[in-house]
Chain A
Amino acid sequence: MLFFSIVMIVPFLWMISTSFKTPAEVFQYPIRWIPAHFNWSHHVKVWTGDNSFVLYYLNSLKVAVLSTVGAICLSALAAYGFSRIEFKGRNPMFLVYLSMMMVPPQVLFVPKFIMFEWAGIYNTHWALILPGMFTIFGVFMMRQFFLSVPQEISEAAFIDGAGHFRIFSRIILPMAKPSLATLAIIDFSWHWNDYENALVFLIDHDLFTVPLGLQNFILENNVDYNGMMAAATAGIIPMILVFLIGQKYIIEGVASSAVKG
């Protein structure tokens, strides 16, 4: 079992090991896992060269944080409306949400491209942040959680004279903290790793996020294998850190949204 697990992470280990090797050692066989001399120059190049990963990190951080914060607020609000307020048209509206999940992103790329061009946000970070703030998955996930909170709690609060906004902000949201954390981490990882949208909506090099920066670095240095692996390492490390910190939330969130959703 341990052996299979190691097979799973071998690509990562090879990546890290290669990033410290000299060009001559890259394809040496048998594989030399620990390089003779640790060569930091590739990592230095990735972080300080013309295409510095510092820039890509800052761009990704901006896009991912703003999108995630927006997505959490808007999803929680909408999920509360869909699960705990009764009003006309609620169910048909929810059906519309459901049906939008079926539409593949490819259908939306061209019209979004044209719309963003028209609105003047094409080739700006807003083209990623604004749509990123609306996640149908997030509404589903939070709705699922809010439905599991007994209605009696709201009724008791109503009798005490509280309105929906008060119940939402004082009672339901604090209870939903673990769910909010799960959504935050999963959403952040999506935005951090999002390659497709960045590929379609960004052109200027100084706007590039980590996946685009990585691709750019590798296309320009396609003979520098050590540099490629140093760049790949730089691209992966933040998510591994996020994963190690929020492992419980990620795994439980993914499991519960698929099995129980």
Chain B
Amino acid sequence: MKASWMKRQQYLGYLFIGPNMIGVILFFIIPAVYSFYLMFTDYKFMSPNTKFTGMANIQRMLGDDIFYTAIQNTLLFLLSVPVSIGLAFIVAVILNRSVYLKKLLRALYFMPYITSGVAVAFVWMLLFQPNNGPINGILRSIGITNPPGWLSTMDSSMYAIDIIWIWFMLGYNMIIYLAALQEVSTELLEAAKIDGARTWQTVRSILWPLVSPTTFLLLITGLIMTIKQFGIIQAITQGGPGNSTTVLSLFIYQNAFRYYEMGYASAISWALFLIIMIFTVIQWLGQKRWVHY
């Protein structure tokens, strides 16, 4: 009786998970294994003879200047994550105190996150026009005679992308902070007030440490999300001018679907995987810090 019940459980378990598992195998596991194999071949789209080339792609990657430029750009892109988190914390603290308009303001901040990245990318492209765009218009009117070229020059393009991305992520980060701030006990804050703590002191020595698990979580997930992102950059600059906005994820896309160097692209994509794994391991090791409040 008991044995047959167990057997039935087993069968039912597969029945529930099976349909989803089939998709995960088809669209995640098989492609992942296949990609690992492709990394060691010279597979090009439409070319009939695919040869096993061993470590050639990896060697080529390590000798490719653009690969290092892409890593550098990716690091510059990742700069936006702590900035956006810092801003989001400040906004969340202020918004958490204000009673009026809280819902409306929260929605306004969250708007970019829900809208199409491609659409906002094009809006920003015009806002950033170097000669007659509104942003440089404002900068000139406040006395900056030589405003940056933003997306049009190699030194400033990655920072312009950073600004867009900070704006894009701010609402999301803020919502998470608001949720975390709601868990902070009001008694603690009142006690601090009675002890004569100033606003700044309360924020710095009570709120900030208390939400540190959230900060850590946002930092790691934000880094991973940013590393994967390439749609907005592809839509606005396609990696240019020069290779100044070619981040690693965009570099993979370009190699695979513009140059059809798919074996090579697979090798770079596994380099990206390695980086993401490092971040995930850090998160896993840091879990103790944020899972228990």
Task: Mark A residues whose CB is within 8 Å of B.
Answer: 1-2, 4-6, 8-9, 11-12, 14-15, 18, 26-27, 29-31, 74-75, 77-78, 80-82, 85-88, 90, 93, 96-97, 100, 102-115, 130-131, 133-134, 136, 139, 163-164, 168, 189, 192-193, 195-196, 199-200, 210-211, 214-215, 218, 225, 228-229, 231-233, 235-236, 239-240, 242-244, 247, 250-251, 254-256, 258-259
Whether B35 lies near A107 (C-beta < 8 A) is yes
Q: Which residues of chain B have C-beta atoms less than 8 A from A115's C-beta?
A: 30-31, 34
Whether B253 lies near A109 (C-beta < 8 A) is yes
Whether B115 lies near A240 (C-beta < 8 A) is yes
Q: Interface readout for B46-73 with A: 1 if CB under 8 Å, 0 if not?
A: 0000000000000000000000000000
Whether A110 lies near B91 (C-beta < 8 A) is no
Q: Which residues of chain B have C-beta atoms less than 8 A from A29's C-beta?
A: 132, 134, 137, 141
Q: What distance in Å separates the Cβ of A64 from its nearest Cβ neighbour in chain B?
A: 12
Whether A107 lies near B266 (C-beta < 8 A) is yes
Whether A134 lies near B273 (C-beta < 8 A) is no
Whether A82 lies near B17 (C-beta < 8 A) is yes
A sample of 7 more A-B contacts (CB under 8 A), given A8-B111, A114-B34, A211-B116, is A8-B167, A81-B17, A87-B10, A115-B31, A232-B119, A239-B115, A239-B116
Q: Which residues of chain B have C-beta atoms less than 8 A from A15's C-beta?
A: 123
The complex places the Cα of A11 from the Cα of B45 at a distance, in Å, of: 40
Q: What distance in Å separates the Cβ of B200 from its nearest Cβ neighbour in chain A?
A: 17
Q: Which residues of chain A have C-beta atoms less than 8 A from B23's C-beta?
A: 74, 130-131, 133-134
B-side interface mostly: helix
Q: What distance in Å separates the Cβ of B180 from its nearest Cβ neighbour in chain A?
A: 6
The complex places the Cα of A5 from the Cα of B91 at a distance, in Å, of: 9
The complex places the Cα of A149 from the Cα of B171 at a distance, in Å, of: 31
Q: Interface readout for B212-256 with A: 1 if CB under 8 Å, 0 if not?
A: 001001100100000110110011000000000000010011001
Whether A8 lies near B170 (C-beta < 8 A) is yes
- In the complex, the chain A residue whose C-beta lies closest to that of B272 is A104
Whether A27 lies near B132 (C-beta < 8 A) is yes
Whether A259 lies near B231 (C-beta < 8 A) is no
Whether B119 lies near A14 (C-beta < 8 A) is no
Of B27, B107, B124, B214, the contact of A108 (CB 8 Å cutoff): B27
Q: What distance in Å separates the Cβ of A219 from its nearest Cβ neighbour in chain B?
A: 10
Q: What distance in Å separates the Cβ of B174 from its nearest Cβ neighbour in chain A?
A: 10
Whether A254 lies near B172 (C-beta < 8 A) is yes
B188: CB under 8 A from chain A? no
The complex places the Cα of A243 from the Cα of B41 at a distance, in Å, of: 45
Whether A78 lies near B115 (C-beta < 8 A) is no
Whether A87 lies near B12 (C-beta < 8 A) is yes
Q: What distance in Å separates the Cβ of A153 from its nearest Cβ neighbour in chain B?
A: 17
- In the complex, the chain B residue whose C-beta lies closest to that of A78 is B20
Of A96, A242, A247, A258, the contact of B107 (CB 8 Å cutoff): A247
B161: CB under 8 A from chain A? no
Of B20, B98, B129, B276, the contact of A104 (CB 8 Å cutoff): B276
